[in-house]
Amino acid sequence: MGEVISFSKQRKARDRKGAKVKAAENHSRFGRSRAEREAEEKAAARTAQDLDGKKID
C-alpha cells in the first residue's frame, strides 16, 4: 500500500510553493530603483520604435 497523505497539507504546501515563486517574480519586477525601471522602459521603447521603423508594409 501507498503512504497515507493529508490532502489539505499537500494543498497548503503547493500553495506555499506557488507563493514563493510569485514573490520571487514580484521581487524582480518591483524590487528595483526608479532609475532601473526608467532605463528598462526606455530600452523597451527604443526596441519597439526600432522594430516599427523596419516594418515592411
What torsion, rounded to 10 degrees, do the Cα atoms 23, 25, 30, 32 define? Answer: 110
Q: Which domain holds residue 55?
A: 27-57
What is the distance between the alpha carbons of residues 34 and 26, in angstroms, rounded to a whole number? Answer: 15
**pLDDT value at residue 37:** 87
What is the distance between the alpha carbons of residues 6 and 11, in angstroms, rounded to a whole number? Answer: 9
Residue 43 lies in a domain: yes
From the CB of residue 32, how many other CB atoms can be counted at a distance below 10 Å?
A: 13
- pLDDT digits over 5-22, tens only? 899 999 999 999 999 999
Residue 15 lies in a domain: no
From the CB of residue 37, how many other CB atoms can be counted at a distance below 10 Å?
A: 12
Residue 9 lies in a domain: no
Residue 38 lies in a domain: yes
* Structural domain total, the chain: 1
Residue 22 lies in a domain: no
Mean pLDDT of 37-46: 94
Cβ within 8 Å of residue 40, ≥6 positions away: 32
Say whether pLDDT at 36 is over 80: yes
